[in-house]
Structure 1
Amino acid sequence: MPYNRTEENQDQYANATFGPPPIADPDDPFRVVNSHLEKMELGKSSSSCKLSFVTRLNRHAALQEFWCASYEEACVYQNLAGHRDVINFKEQLTRVDFVNKKGKATYTKVDAHVLLKDAKEVLFSVKYDEKSQRTSYIAEIAHIAGQCSRQIADRFNLGSRYAFHPIFRKCAAEIHSARRGWDPEADRIVLEVANDLGRPATFGELVERSSLRGRGQRAAIRLIGDGDIKKDHLDPFAVGTLCEVAA
């Protein structure tokens, strides 16, 4: 289901670690909400921010800043933000305590804590592709995940940007680009076109019937990114891609 801003919807996330992203101010839609992190110096240690990633998590949301320790993290965050089932995520938020294989009590801070539209929560550990596929490291993460309480998260995932299909990664980049803009009127028109058709239509038909050209294309991408209009995850934003209004 698409994310709708209602009191009932907010109640759905009352027991979550955190809720939906902040809503943009229509009078200042390009104001950036800073990261919750307070790492003021860049690149000084492995725990410091090396780059800043700024995006909207849906077309209504404020621009949010996420601090990343690597380019790999920024790519994964972009892919997470572009998934229609992701409502919000926080970077370096959640501590997981565990006992390592030598019997020592220790902890790790997980790279991303993801909130899904069904209110489930997922932890995502980001590593470059070679390490994320290394058997010994998979076993290490499995050992930690096995000690992670369901009160913290429902799942614990591991991967690099390449854990996402190439077409999905390209679509996520296009969603990121389209959401950085702000055009509620175009969004409304394209969604009305999709609803008025009352049937599946191609991406190209939605844009053509909106009579908005480039604005219509960007609006259609935003609506698909938010899940209000659906396409297959592995279909590109192409003229012939079949789309339909979400139930």
Structure 2
Amino acid sequence: MKNVVEIATDHPHAALPHLWQATFSPPPLADPDDPHKIIRTHLKKDEIGKSSGTCRVAFLTRLHRRAAFQEFWCASFEEAQVYTNIAGHPDVINFKEQLTKVPFYDEDGRKTFTRVDAHALLRDGEEVLVSVKYDNKARRQSYIREVKNIATQTPIEVADRFAVTSRYVFHPNYRACAEAIHKARRGWDPEADKTMADLAQDLGEGFSFQEIVDASGLEHRAHRAVIRLVGDGDIRKDLLDPFSPTTELWSAAA
């Protein structure tokens, strides 16, 4: 996440919670007999938003190749784009929208609270709160200072750090890869996924995208499976490399 999200501040505490102490669990698994069944997220609202002028967008995806389809609600197009990028990161195993409420004292000493746009659970058990703003505000020093104030008052039991982001903080190549990952996750092909995961380990420390696809003999099924495995972190690449025939890959288990 640090490579693609502008960090407002690190949490002052150094210790990270273990995964089993996380405030929420990994996403629900899909039913193999009905893998395309859609589960609505924790909000379960017909309408959301902070004002009547808010754009309401539904974001539908799997957070892992074996996870259930979930429908996330977004209060704006900006949120939908950021959620797409967060959910496509190989180190993010789950996130919740509008889940976490953080009480704090503002710069004038008044007690108030904020409900954070996204709460991400990372593979190492770290939890990150994400404030989503349009690009100019996300980069505005006065707003970053405001978030730093909230971050220093956020208990370690709630999250490890706070980030401020917009869709433009993510590199264009990264955004394109995230879109490809979500598109590949719409499919359901556990057999191809397992074949490609096993083959990645057999190929050694490095191989190109085209080499592993050709070695499998699965053609388009292999192509989609490799993208899913990259999205899940089982096959790795540089975050900013595109999905192209010459892209260098390696197995996370190697």
- Taking structure 1 as the reference length, the TM-score comes to 0.91
Which amino acid is the alignment partner of residue 97 of structure 2? Answer: E
d(CA) in 2 for partners of 1:127, 1:134 = 10
Pair 1:135–1:190, CA change in 2 (3 A): same
Aligned residue for 1:72, secondary structure, equals helix
d(CA) in 2 for partners of 1:46, 1:93 = 21
Identity across matched positions, percent: 58
Pair 1:83–1:44, CA change in 2 (3 A): closer
Which amino acid is the alignment partner of residue 125 of structure 2? Answer: A
Deviations 1:199-231 (A, max 9, x none): 411001111111122111100000111111111
Equivalent residue, structure 1, for 2:69: 63
The offset of 1:90, in angstroms, is: 0.4
d(CA) in 2 for partners of 1:100, 1:47 = 26
1:230 and 2:236 matched? yes
Instruction: Kindly indicate whether structure 1 or structure 2 has the higher relative contact order, using CA contacts under 8 Å at least 6 residues apart.
Output: 2
The offset of 1:83, in angstroms, is: 0.7
Structure 2 counterparts to residues 1-247 of structure 1, below 5 A: 13-41=19-47, 45=51, 50-247=56-253
The offset of 1:198, in angstroms, is: 2.5
Runs of 5+ consecutive residues of structure 2 not aligned to the other structure:
1-17
Pair 1:93–1:107, CA change in 2 (3 A): same
Pair 1:171–1:45, CA change in 2 (3 A): same
Which amino acid is the alignment partner of residue 57 of structure 2? Answer: L
Confirm or deny: 8 A CA contact 1:47 1:69 kept in the other structure.
no
The offset of 1:149, in angstroms, is: 1.3
Confirm or deny: 8 A CA contact 1:51 1:70 kept in the other structure.
yes
Runs of 5+ consecutive residues of structure 1 not aligned to the other structure:
1-11
CA RMSD of superposed structures (Å): 1.7
Deviations 1:102-143 (A, max 9, x none): 221100000000101111110000001011011211111111
Confirm or deny: 8 A CA contact 2:19 2:126 kept in the other structure.
no
Deviations 1:43-73 (A, max 9, x none): 6826977111011111010011111001111
d(CA) in 2 for partners of 1:149, 1:47 = 33
Pair 1:38–1:74, CA change in 2 (3 A): same
Confirm or deny: 8 A CA contact 1:186 1:215 kept in the other structure.
yes
The offset of 1:196, in angstroms, is: 2.3
d(CA) in 2 for partners of 1:46, 1:178 = 35
